[in-house]
Amino acid sequence: MFKTKRLLASLLTFVLVTIAGSAFAQAGRDAQINLVVSYPPGGLSDYFARLMAPKLSESLGMPVIVDNKPGANGAIGTATVARAKPDGTTISLLPASVLTTNPWLMKDLGYDPQKDVTPLGISLIVPNVLVVNPSVPATTLPELLALMKAQPGKINYASVGAGSSTHLNGEMLRRLAGVDIVHVAYKGAGPALQDVVAGNVQMMFDNLPAVLPLVQSGKLRAIAVTSAKASPALPGVPPVGQFLPGFEATPWFGFIGPMNMPADLVAKFNAAIVKAARSPDIVEALKVRGGETIAGTPEEMAKLIRSESDQMRQLIKDAGITLN
């Protein structure tokens, strides 16, 4: 009898473990993991996702396909992930603003960042850079601010979407410098940068890895970085805060899945994300472009979402930022 009970207990344990670890397998052998990027191709989210996808595929044993779903400052793609089955076949890589800023700008967001998604881990931090078209007669931030003051309402700045870090950086500059500049929102970094390079918009804040090749080729001029210190990737380009005290912002990117993902599946994804982010080729690829890969836990990411969401709510309220 005792042996029988032990055998039954062992079988029950085996079944429970198998069930807990089978959520991934339930998608089927021929399934793939859709890595949703809520912006068009050409931006940092897309670039980093395509770097990470093959590494994640190796660790998870399934094809990882980047799926661009742009629009509404990342809200469209993120809402798609929030509504997906929590079986591991749909995840997303996104910038912090989609989780910490959108809720304070959009009435019908389609998801609650603190309830409807599952944090999987932060994987990248990177400063933004203020860049201008070379035709702009300013090579330093003081010169650019003087130009803004001499031409109120005439200088435009692009962003990847209303409420994004690229938008909020512009609003911080406007408020701290007391200048009148005009915001032009795009659906992603690719089309926004194209218009700045073409001279249709004079300037833009964007992620350093995305703009560095354009700066190096002379298509854009770097004026200042948003981090507290200068970036080794752009020697000689000072922080905005050197001229406007109180200006500091370092955007981060992280992975999420749908709500109610099983704990074992979350752990499996986090392990794969950490392994990929620490791989030498990805570390080097981001380093030469000014980014820094990190390995955060889901719990750390959830905590950061809550704290930064509170900060963004206050900033947006104080600045009176609304969506047009």
The reply to whether 2-125+251-319 and 128-242 are identical in fold is yes
> Distance between CA atoms of 72 and 152, rounded to whole angstroms?
28
pLDDT band at 31 (very low <50, low <70, confident <90, very high): confident
Q: Is 10 a residue whose pLDDT tops 50?
A: no
**Could you tell me the fold of the domain covering 2-125+251-319?**
D-Maltodextrin-Binding Protein; domain 2 (3.40.190)
Q: What digits encode the pLDDT tens for the residues 77-135? A: 999 999 999 999 999 999 998 999 888 888 888 899 989 999 999 999 889 999 999 99
Name the residue among 90, 96, 92 with its Cα closest to residue 78: 92
Strand runs labelled E in the chain: 33-37, 64-68, 90-95, 117-125, 128-132, 155-159, 181-185, 203-207, 221-225, 252-258, 292-293
Q: Is 167 a residue whose pLDDT tops 80?
A: yes
The CATH class that applies to domain 128-242 reads alpha beta
Q: What are the residue boundaries of the structural domains of the chain, listed by start? A: 2-125+251-319, 128-242
Given a contact cutoff of 8 angstroms between Cβ atoms, the answer to whether 165 and 312 are in contact is no
Return the pLDDT at 36. Answer: 98
Percent helix, percent strand, percent coil in the chain, to nearest 5: 45, 20, 35
> Distance between CA atoms of 135 and 6, rounded to whole angstroms?
79
Half-sphere exposure in the Cβ direction for 147 (13 Å, CA): 16
Please report, to the nearest 10 degrees, the dihedral formed by the alpha carbons of residues 247, 146, 236, 122 taken in order: 30
Given a contact cutoff of 8 angstroms between Cβ atoms, the answer to whether 196 and 203 are in contact is yes
What pTM, to 2 d.p., does this model score? Answer: 0.76
